[in-house]
Amino acid sequence: MKTRRLLTFCLQFFVMAFLSFQLVSCHDDKGPDDPNNHNQGGKEEPTELVADNGTSGITYQLLVYSFCDSDGDGVGDFNGITSKLDYLQQMGVNALWLSPIHPASSYHGYDVLDYFDVNPDYGTMADFQNLIKKAHEKKIKVYIDYVLNHTSKDHPWFLSAISSETSEYRDYYILSKNPQADIKAGKIPMISSEGASGYDSGQWFSAVAGSGNGTMKAKFTLEWGSSPTLKIEKVNSISNSGTQNSGKYLYYGDGKMEQFYSNGGSTYTLSLELASSWGVLVRTSTTSWDGGTKWGAPSGKNQLAWGTALKLSNTDAQDILLPGMESVFYHSHFWTSYFADLNYGAADTCEKSGAFLAVTDAADKWINMGVDGFRLDAVKHIYHNANSEENPTFLKKFYDRCNKTYKACGHSDDIYMVAEHFSEASEVAHYYSALPAYFEFSFWWRLKDAINQGVGNTFANTLLSYRTLYAKYRPDFIEATKLSNHDEDRAGNDFGKNVAKEKLAAAVLLTAGGEPYVYQGEELGYYGTKSGGDEYVRTPMLWTSSVSSIADGKLGGKVDKGMLKTLKSVEAQSADETSLLNVYRTFGNLRATYKALSKGSFVPRQILNNTMLSAWYREYDGQKVLVVHNFCGGSVSASLSGEDLSNIIASNGEVSVRDGKLNLGGYGSAVFLQK
């Protein structure tokens, strides 16, 4: 018996060679030349097949700002990505999903300021065009993240919309002076199908629509009892008394802050001349906005009137409007004032709305430039009712509009579009009537549970049940399978930093059906949770042992550098034949070589009296492979009668075959080419 593991695939000219190395079983000290070892499988013969990353279906998700910094400013950029295309090709990557590339208010890019431009922190438009060109030369497609739900509240469209009821952009956003009443009356089409229950006070925020009285002289009185209040009064001159040591501050204008005066007791006063285009807030810290230190007033109850005390809140602390200011409420489905939701009107006629025409006009620009597709964010939250047909109706119209432009560029295929619908497969299924691909979160949730529980025998049938669901709505559905992503705790964390489990998860991902996504850093074993901030699951790539050279400039110091020092870099893992990175390369190139894996059918293979193994067939155009994975940490043996086990084309962990029986080490995997 010989024990082997396939390490990697090397493409040289038109010959594909498989390399292997010996492993020592934890249950058997016999070496490969032991006379009691009778090898009936594991021989990895040279083959005329050639790895073609252009057919692998593997997409790599990267964060532009933290992937690779080419100019030393601490921020990832387009040129940095271009410089690493060879690295991506070595994993068999067929496409890139770039995090939002547009100018934005936040580091992550999901609050867009301009759909027509690129973020200058990432480089120039010419740099982006060069990335597309160089990627295409390596058969790598480029997909960009496209945010249809909302813009930044600082987007010029929004600022114009709230400035005047006659603004040409007024209808681009969901605005109301009395949202609860308007929703109940059915006057807001994007939140109408749920009736009055569509109103959520936490999703409405006030914006100043009028500038108030300009510069004013005023006295503010802050009563700091069990229920704090703020009062404003007109004054002719500025005069303050007492001691300015209250620890309470009036925040206003362009980041200005003045401390209230104390005369003893719980009453504080401040007289000043001020101008503020947005209003005021009360703060109890000069350095932090957290921990209840920000005091405002609830939406709808945040208007100061001369001489009248206004009740304050530090849980719903909206900007306090000054006398004379007019306000309008805007909708933000994600419960944050930083996003302003776009208004597409009724789904049946959404393509006629100004917002739809604007975002598709911008999409045309990117398609004409050579972008191959789009990733759409949080699509179940575009229209308020996630369970109605409104979102699928809108998405189909958006897809058809983009596909028309794509076809006009001379493409014979259809444009690629994948959407995030953060739900179980049963809730996602009906959305397939609109778009070709959705992320299959259910795949990841079932996989991590199965591996952590050491039970694999139901996994393949579960995946098959999802495929059956999707097929009811779209025969040519694409499951965008994945492990973790930028909005979830890292896979490495979910597996308790167990690299053997991570290797198994990689092998499963890259041998199952669908079109898999690999998230930046997953191939290195990154771990982390969102508990301290999303930044901790968006860690920069570690290309060499130098942690100081990572692209962390956008992350505000929220980088676990201890993790980076513990894990091996790309450079180190490339040189380590047993590394997690090389498992990704092995199975990525396997998928790029065998179309049975990248394009084939998915049929579970039952293994009786065994709960630990998961197996399936992949078959395409006369080519058939058998895939077997061990979901537990101990060695498992199984008789696979009727199968051809003579040609192992890839393996991970301890794998051997003797007398028709397959032996898989803990968390091991094997792929057999069938005759």
Which of 355, 357, 73, 333 has its CA nearest to residue 203?
333
pTM, two decimal places: 0.86
Q: What angle do CA 190, 192, 196 make, to 5 degrees?
A: 130
Give the per-residue pLDDT at 659. Answer: 86
Q: What is the pLDDT of residues 434-471, one digit of tens each?
A: 999 999 999 999 999 999 999 999 999 999 999 999 99
Cα–Cα distance measured from residue 172 to residue 554, given in angstroms and rounded to the nearest whole number: 30
Residue 337 belongs to a domain: no
Residue 108 belongs to a domain: yes
DSSP state of 267: E
Q: What is the pLDDT of residues 88-129, one digit of tens each?
A: 999 999 999 999 999 999 999 999 999 999 999 999 999 999
Same domain, 402 and 499: yes
Give the per-residue pLDDT at 212. Answer: 54
Give the per-residue pLDDT at 48. Answer: 61
Please report, in angstroms and rounded to a whole number, the separation of the first and last CA atoms in the chain: 22
State which residues form the domain around 402: 53-151+345-591
Give the per-residue pLDDT at 211. Answer: 58
Give the per-residue pLDDT at 562. Answer: 95
Same domain, 104 and 238: no
As a whole number, mean pLDDT of residues 9-38 equals 32
Same domain, 177 and 218: no
Cα–Cα distance measured from residue 372 to residue 303, given in angstroms and rounded to the nearest whole number: 48
Give 298's pLDDT tier (boundaries 50, 70, 90): confident
Same domain, 189 and 201: yes
Same domain, 470 and 576: yes
As a dihedral over the C-alpha atoms of residue 282, residue 285, residue 288, residue 291, rounded to 10 degrees, the angle is -80
Which residue, 190, 207, 224, sits at the end of a domain?
Answer: 207
CATH number at residue 239: 2.60.40.10
Higher pLDDT, 572 or 44: 572
Same domain, 615 and 510: no
Q: Is the pLDDT of residue 557 over 60?
A: yes
Higher pLDDT, 299 or 89: 89
Residue 578 belongs to a domain: yes
Give the per-residue pLDDT at 58. Answer: 98
Same domain, 311 and 182: no
Which residue, 568, 591, 614, sits at the end of a domain?
Answer: 591
How many domains does one find in the chain?
A: 4
Residue 161 belongs to a domain: yes
Give 424's pLDDT tier (boundaries 50, 70, 90): very high
Residue 183 belongs to a domain: yes
Give 210's pLDDT tier (boundaries 50, 70, 90): low
Give the per-residue pLDDT at 213. Answer: 56
Residue 334 belongs to a domain: no
Same domain, 230 and 297: yes
209 SS3 class:
coil
Residue 620 phi/psi, 5° resolution?
Answer: -155, 125
Give the per-residue pLDDT at 174. Answer: 98
Same domain, 43 and 111: no
Which residue, 534, 567, 591, sits at the end of a domain?
Answer: 591
CATH number at residue 202: 3.90.400.10
Q: What is the 3-state secondary structure (H, E, C) of 37-95?
A: CCCCCCCCCCECCCCCHHHCCCEEEECHHHHCCCCCCCCCCHHHHHHCHHHHHCCCCCE
Same domain, 140 and 156: no
As a dihedral over the C-alpha atoms of residue 442, residue 443, residue 445, residue 447, rounded to 10 degrees, the angle is 150
Same domain, 635 and 624: yes
Residue 265 belongs to a domain: yes
- Two tokens at 585? 């390369």
Which of 471, 445, 440 has its CA nearest to residue 459?
445
CATH number at residue 503: 3.20.20.80
Residue 331 belongs to a domain: no
- Of the listed ranges 111-120, 208-217, 589-598, 637-646, the least confidently predicted one is 208-217
Same domain, 504 and 446: yes
Q: What is the pLDDT of residues 366-393, one digit of tens each?
A: 999 999 999 999 999 999 999 999 999 9
Q: Is the pLDDT of residue 410 over 60?
A: yes
Higher pLDDT, 210 or 619: 619
Give the per-residue pLDDT at 409. Answer: 97
Query: What is the average pLDDT score of the chain?
Result: 92
CATH number at residue 622: 2.60.40.1180
Annotated catalytic sites, by residue?
377, 420
Q: What is the pLDDT of residues 137-171, one digit of tens each?
A: 999 999 999 999 999 999 999 999 999 999 999 99
How does DSSP assign 500-539, residue by residue? HHHHHHHHHHHHSSS--EEETTGGGT----GGG-GGGGSP
